[in-house]
Structure 1
């Protein structure tokens, strides 16, 4: 049919596959939640149809308004929000709950795409850099104040879109180096190994880096000062890491402790979820126990097993084969969005596509890492799959906006 030309059938097909499989898994452990998720899916599809009927430039023109609305919803949480599981990040309207941070991600992606695609944007210009940081930083600070650490990490995903638009890859290396140093310092702290030894190792590694790049370095006062300053900052981070850890709330310290000492050390507190999550996934074997036959998940041993820990249900009921198939579908889907984003004629569509794919990638990576014990437990859903109307509606809205932009791009004569 002519009207379907330009619709990415593979991408939308994977979206529907993920959503329907998700509803089945949620229904398996909580039938009432599965039914509600099916209703939210119907609402999401209806919103998607409306999106496809909008004008081509609608979201580009409305980006600023949607962004400001997202900020106002976050600000409104402080006086009017409802606290759930220690986080005041929900609005409750009778039986319906709304998590505005999910829509703030959408607004930030649209606003960033709008600004980056503008004629005045240049990452070599200080004004552009400051404006870009402000667009990402305003909602990120509000999310930090809630506090919602999981969602805060997702805002880092926008740097991938900026990298595509010319952001220096050296910044990723610098941030990565500091992150590794901090994590290693925490490991030494938890295992009672003197931080002095890490300081020595850092000094040696730093010396090797300088030696390798010796001929590339401009040996002037500015260059020497920057290298010396970096070394001081790294060493300072090493010795400051235990004090930073002590300032965290008890439950966050325990979650980090689970990562380094194992879930059995905290089996009655922060390690409980992970312990039974691993048990459920491991008990599924290669082919799984069968739909609604998982003893761990059906026994309700895993808290949040229909939301943040939904992947353990897949592991137990569908086994390694089903889990691998789900991971493959996600990788194919995210890769498809990156591919389509790169093919866009419009800079706005390209940047939004990269933002959207990067948000999905961050959610997917952190959620699976959390469920398998590779990342500390944070409240972050698996896109389309975790139970939650706000999450499904927000991700679906981003989905249909991108595929609408892609549809318009394919039918454009320019």
Structure 2
């Protein structure tokens, strides 16, 4: 058997294409940052080659150690972290910065895969379910305390892996209902709609849900109490949402308001980045203005454009065709990872693959939604594409760990 048999060259080529195209666009925004990104890409590939040389069960055996190390690095941010925009989410070592939350995601994915791949694991058993939720929840709570809302949302990606392993769909339904109620409550708040109408709207949502699921519900006193409790909780959420919004820091509150009131009302504050980001994307038309020819990009109208808002560079310089091509590459790449994850004979490999693909889905969708004004600005990088050594390295490590797992699984005889 030749050594390269088992390497999924399709995924590898897509990874290199995304990372290289990202560095190219970063260079267009800032030459020094683009050069450093290429250096980090070289380091990431070197680390990836080293991962390929490790023994097959290394990451499965070290899952708990990597997980604990990731949580401790997050906790260490409180006394030793560097504060940026009210968030202590960076370590500073001279000219090098490290964002430990990216590596905590790797540790959580490994630990969840290690636990959920045990023969006795069963999500219908409360102990299994609560332990899996604790594995996700411990680093998530630390991230919330930082606070880093964007990274907190990404931890929701692990529920995709749990759903594949048997988590009931009702869990996602409950989350969806709470999200809808929260967004509606904010809309009512900003629109000045009376609290009476807000409560009526929530009760109507519950009524529609019950109407369309009437045949699936076993009616008894316990069920009635659960429905009543849910109605009280949702109405309570509606009433407290405006208070929670007012307690947020000014810049975070304005980022939410931008979605409802438009970025032009906040063009000098939280809407500035979004306004010029949409201007850049829209000005690219069909084929773009050409590489390093974007007026918004060259004029540096979007602060730190090479990081979270790098997609607007693609829109301006490469146009609708370039932007669409990039989106298709991401969709195809993530779809390929899910396909490979489903093919794994080893449960640990499968769960890690789904976790990794879920993380990419969350980053990709939130970042693009943020840049186009469909989601508040929360500081989420575009995987492989946004400038940042620790981000690129962490994503690359997860990438090559899964490539290694897939390689081992493909060449195994079991």
1:226: how far off?
A: 0.4
Q: Provide the rounded CA distance (Å) in 1 between the counterparts of 2:214 and 2:22.
A: 53
Aligned match of 1:12: 12
Task: Work out whether residues 281 and 315 of structure 1, in 8 Å CA contact, stay in contact via their aligned partners in 2.
Answer: yes
Task: Work out whether residues 190 and 260 of structure 1, in 8 Å CA contact, stay in contact via their aligned partners in 2.
Answer: yes
Q: Unpaired runs of 5+ in structure 2?
A: none
Aligned match of 1:318: 318
Aligned match of 2:132: 132
Aligned match of 2:21: 21
Q: Deviations over 1:135-166 (max 9, x none)?
A: 11111111111111100100011001000000
Q: Provide the rounded CA distance (Å) in 2 between the counterparts of 1:271 and 1:64.
A: 42
Q: Provide the rounded CA distance (Å) in 1 between the counterparts of 2:381 and 2:95.
A: 20
Within 5 Å, give how 1:145-294 maps onto structure 2.
145-294=145-294
Task: Work out whether residues 185 and 195 of structure 1, in 8 Å CA contact, stay in contact via their aligned partners in 2.
Answer: no
Q: Provide the rounded CA distance (Å) in 1 between the counterparts of 2:349 and 2:161.
A: 12
Aligned match of 2:368: 368
Alignment length (residue pairs) = 414
Q: Provide the rounded CA distance (Å) in 2 between the counterparts of 1:188 and 1:215.
A: 32
1:129: how far off?
A: 1.5
Using a 3 Å threshold, how does the CA distance of structure 1 residues 205 and 403 change in structure 2: closer, same or farther? Answer: same
Aligned match of 2:119: 119
1:196: how far off?
A: 1.8
Q: Provide the rounded CA distance (Å) in 2 between the counterparts of 1:104 and 1:158.
A: 13
1:218: how far off?
A: 2.2
Classify the secondary structure of the residue corresponding to 1:269.
Answer: coil
1:215: how far off?
A: 3.7
Aligned match of 1:337: 337
Q: Provide the rounded CA distance (Å) in 2 between the counterparts of 1:329 and 1:246.
A: 40
**Which region of structure 1 is more displaced relative to structure 2, 213-222 or 17-26?**
213-222
Classify the secondary structure of the residue corresponding to 2:56.
Answer: coil
Classify the secondary structure of the residue corresponding to 2:3.
Answer: helix
Q: Deviations over 1:143-190 (max 9, x none)?
A: 111111100100011001000000000110111011101101101111
Q: Deviations over 1:257-290 (max 9, x none)?
A: 0010000011100000000000010111100000
Q: Unpaired runs of 5+ in structure 1?
A: none
Classify the secondary structure of the residue corresponding to 1:2.
Answer: coil
Q: Provide the rounded CA distance (Å) in 1 between the counterparts of 2:266 and 2:277.
A: 14
1:214: how far off?
A: 3.0
Q: Provide the rounded CA distance (Å) in 2 between the counterparts of 1:273 and 1:244.
A: 25
1:208: how far off?
A: 3.2
1:85: how far off?
A: 2.6
Aligned match of 2:308: 308
Q: Provide the rounded CA distance (Å) in 2 between the counterparts of 1:325 and 1:195.
A: 46
1:211: how far off?
A: 3.1
Q: Provide the rounded CA distance (Å) in 2 between the counterparts of 1:313 and 1:379.
A: 17
Aligned match of 2:392: 392
What TM-score, normalized by structure 1, do the two folds share? Answer: 0.98
Classify the secondary structure of the residue corresponding to 1:83.
Answer: strand
Q: Deviations over 1:49-75 (max 9, x none)?
A: 000000010100010111111111111
**Which region of structure 1 is more displaced relative to structure 2, 289-298 or 118-127?**
118-127
Aligned match of 1:53: 53
Q: Provide the rounded CA distance (Å) in 1 between the counterparts of 2:118 and 2:328.
A: 36
Aligned match of 1:346: 346
Q: Deviations over 1:228-281 (max 9, x none)?
A: 111111111111111111111111110000010000011100000000000010
1:121: how far off?
A: 1.1
Q: CA RMSD in A?
A: 1.0
Q: Provide the rounded CA distance (Å) in 2 between the counterparts of 1:194 and 1:239.
A: 11
1:86: how far off?
A: 2.3
Task: Work out whether residues 288 and 315 of structure 1, in 8 Å CA contact, stay in contact via their aligned partners in 2.
Answer: yes
Q: Provide the rounded CA distance (Å) in 2 between the counterparts of 1:212 and 1:84.
A: 47
1:213: how far off?
A: 3.0
